[in-house]
Amino acid sequence: MNYFTISANAKASFIEKRSEFIGHIAPVKTNDEAVAFINSIKSEHRKAKHNVYAYILRGDNISRYSDDGEPQGTAGVPVLDVLKKRGLTDVCVVVTRYFGGILLGGGGLVRAYSHAASLACDAAHIMDMRLCHKLRIKADYGMYGKISYLLPNYETITVSSDFGSDVVLEILVLSEKLDSLKKELTEATNGTVETEDCGELFEDFSSVIKFS
């Protein structure tokens, strides 16, 4: 159930036969957010010949695109295809073109808009959003070494740590690994550890799990 999205806006550009193509990408979760981003880019680049866009929304299962005056199928669809091939969702890409006076032809436009969209994706931080649980772990100091030794085996993310009268850790663990981790923690600490499941959520695991 994992999905890929981005953490923040990014952009990149290149020149092709005197036309400048600027790829802009932003995280969006609703149709209104996507439209607002598109309009902001259009407002920023009023003098541009074209502001082509595509976006995909996970929650509403929406994917939309616009050629914005370019020949049909040469702009919006290639941008959308880049997002689909990269498995990105909850994102919007707008590719701005400042026309340089030289026609690129259908194939040239497809390549240019695809390249601009790819550059924008490359410039963004991709997040690997995984279904996980926030787990609260409480143990005495004598067990901390065993616990800290186990956690990396489960690709966990430490949210917080409190070293008071006891050690209290809040971690994120993938949902499919939760039961195994709790069992091994219990065995390693002879049942002295206390664990509390604080609920299921999606979080970014790109720092601990390599993209396949």
* CATH number where 57 lies: 3.30.230.30
With a CB cutoff of 8 Å and minimum separation 6, the contacts of 76 are 52, 53, 54, 65, 66, 67, 68, 70, 113
Per the structure, the complete domain to which residue 177 belongs is given by: 128-204
Q: What is the pTM of this model?
A: 0.85
pLDDT in tens, 80-107: 999 999 999 999 999 999 998 888 889 9
Angle between helix 105-123 and 76-85 (nearest 10): 40
Specify the number of domains making up the chain. 2
- Regarding whether 103 and 156 lie in a shared domain, the answer is no
Which of these, 47, 5, 43, lies nearest to 27 by C-alpha position? 5
Residue 211 lies in a domain: no
Residue 118 lies in a domain: yes
- Regarding whether 194 and 162 lie in a shared domain, the answer is yes
- Regarding whether 168 and 71 lie in a shared domain, the answer is no
- Regarding whether 39 and 65 lie in a shared domain, the answer is yes
pLDDT in tens, 139-180: 999 999 999 999 999 999 999 999 988 999 999 999 999 999
Residue with tokens 């966990």: 156
Contact criterion met (CB below 8 Å) for 192 and 143? yes
**What is the C-alpha to C-alpha distance for residues 29 and 77, in angstroms, rounded to an integer?**
20
Q: Out of 71, 95, 124, pick the residue that ends a domain.
A: 124
Residue 210 lies in a domain: no
Which of these, 43, 44, 52, lies nearest to 82 by C-alpha position? 52
Residue 46 lies in a domain: yes
